[in-house]
Amino acid sequence: MSETIPITIDGVEVQAKPGQTILEAADAAGIYIPRLCYQKDLVPFGACRVCTVLVNGRPQPACTQPVAPEMVIDNSSEKVQTYRRNIIEMLFVEGNHFCMFCEKSGNCELQALAYRFGITAPKYPFLFPKREVDASHPDIFVDHNRCILCARCVRASRDVDGKNVFGFVGRGPHKKVAVNADANLGGTDAAATDKALDICPVGALMRKRVGYAVPVGQRDYDTKPIGSDIETSKAK
């Protein structure tokens, strides 16, 4: 199908393809919409809400909202950026994010988003929840202190690995990732080769014995902000 759907993002006219979400159309046009739970090739989940945009004035998540003709999308106003900054700050105070010793630091998407938004400290009080670390598996550990409930591992294990190693239990502030065993990860068929391990945006799901491999200065977000790969793709 060669027909395109004209939409406007921050005043820029974009020709979107039918069936695309706003986020996909923006990516293709070299416009970065911040996101955390979204991961290319996984079913959109719509949980983190960092990709909130204003569609004709109404807040919508860009990762699940399909494009429609004449959409006028605000991806950069102070209002939208404030929403996003607040959500990022909520994620920081909700868990226990100790960047200074985290293996993921420098490659962490949550941290990188905070950098991109210029956040020096969250305005909200830190909640310091008591959370567990599951190191029962010989090659993998789960640190719930760092989990942001994005469900990337849940989706990847189910849809890519075909394993269903992860799921959610509890609700509200008590919601957490659980594993498909009566006790811990050691009781599941999770393997170090699982795709689910590659897509954790934070340091919650990690392979053992391979941390800190990349020197400071050469990590993903040491010098260029998250999203700049999408933004520079426009130049091509």
Partner 1 sequence: MSGLEAEIKAICKAVGNDRTRTMDIVRAVQDKHGCVSSEAIDVIAKQVGTPRVEVEGVVSFYSFLSEQPKGKVVIRLCHDIIDQMQGCDRVAQAFAEELGIAFGETTPDGMISLEYAACIGMSDQAPAALVNDVVVTHLSSDAAREIVRKLKADPDPKRLVASLGDGNNAHPKVQSMVMNNIRVRGPVVLADFDSGEGLRKAVAMTPAEVIRDIKTARLRGRGGAGFPTGLKWEFTRKASGDQRYVLCNADEGEPGTFKDRVILTEHPDLMFEGMTIAGYAIGAETGIVYLRGEYAYLRAFLEEVLETRRKQGLLGRNVCRKEGFNFDIRIQMGAGAYVCGEETALISSCEGKRGDPKNRPPFPAQKGYLDGPTVVNNVETFCCVSRILEKGPGWFAESGSKGSAGTKLLSIAGDCRRPGVYELPFGVTLREVLDLAGASDAAAVQVGGPSGQLVGPKDFDRMICYDDLATGGSIMVFGPERNVLEVVREFLEFFVDESCGYCTPCRVGNVLMKERVEQIIAGRGEPADLDYLQELAETVKACSRCGLGQTSPNPVLTTLKNFRPAYEALVKQDKDGFRPTFVLSEAVGDAEAISGRKSVHTHQ
Partner 2 sequence: MAKPKVATTSLAGCFGCHMSILDIDERILKLVELVDFDKSPINDIKKFTGRCAVGLIEGGCANEENVEVLREFRKHCDVLIAVGECAIMGDIPAMRNMVPLKECLDEAYLNGPSVYNPSGQVPNDPEIPLLLNKVYPINEVVKIDYFLPGCPPSADTIWQALTALLGGKPVELPYELIKYD
Summarize as ranges the residues that interact with partner 2 (CB under 8 A): 96, 98-102, 105-106, 111, 114-116, 118-122, 125-126, 128-131, 216, 223, 225
CB-nearer residue toward partner 2: 4 or 96: 96
Smallest gap from residue 165 Cβ to partner 1 (A): 8
User: Are 63 and 45 a contacting pair, CB within 8 Å?
Assistant: yes
Q: Under rule CB under 8 A, which residues in 17-46 are in contact with partner 1? A: 44-46
- Which residues lie below 8 Å from residue 136, measured CB to CB, with a gap of 6+? 183, 184, 185, 186, 187
Q: How far is CA 110 from CA 4, 99, 172, 234, in A?
A: 33, 10, 21, 24
Smallest gap from residue 141 Cβ to partner 2 (A): 17
Crossing angle for the helix pair 109-116 and 78-94, nearest 10 degrees? 140
Q: Under rule CB under 8 A, which residues in 66-85 are in contact with partner 1? A: 66, 82-83
| Cα distance between the two ends of the chain | 24
Structure tokens belonging to residue 126: 């830190």
**Could you say which of partner 1, partner 2, none residue 22 binds, taking C-beta under 5 to 8 angstroms by partner kind?**
none
CB-nearer residue toward partner 2: 128 or 189: 128
Question: Which stretch in 98-106, 173-181, 205-213, 223-231 sits in contact with partner 1 by CB under 8 A?
Answer: 173-181
CB-nearer residue toward partner 1: 177 or 206: 177
3 state DSSP class of 13: strand
Does residue 186 interact with partner 1 by CB under 8 A?
Answer: no
Smallest gap from residue 31 Cβ to partner 1 (A): 20
Alpha carbons 106 and 215: distance in angstroms, whole number = 9
> Can you say whether residue 170 is alpha, beta or left, with left for phi > 0 and alpha for psi between -120 and 50 degrees?
left
User: Are 215 and 185 a contacting pair, CB within 8 Å?
Assistant: no
**Could you say which of partner 2, partner 1, none residue 115 binds, taking C-beta under 5 to 8 angstroms by partner kind?**
partner 2
Tracing tokens 């992860």 back to the chain, one arrives at 166
Tracing tokens 């990188």 back to the chain, one arrives at 112
Smallest gap from residue 145 Cβ to partner 1 (A): 15
Smallest gap from residue 119 Cβ to partner 2 (A): 8
User: Are 148 and 175 a contacting pair, CB within 8 Å?
Assistant: no
CB-nearer residue toward partner 2: 159 or 222: 222
**Residue numbers of the site for partner 1 (CB under 8 A)?**
44-50, 52, 59, 61, 64-66, 82-83, 86-87, 90-91, 93-94, 123-125, 127, 148-149, 164, 166-175, 178-182
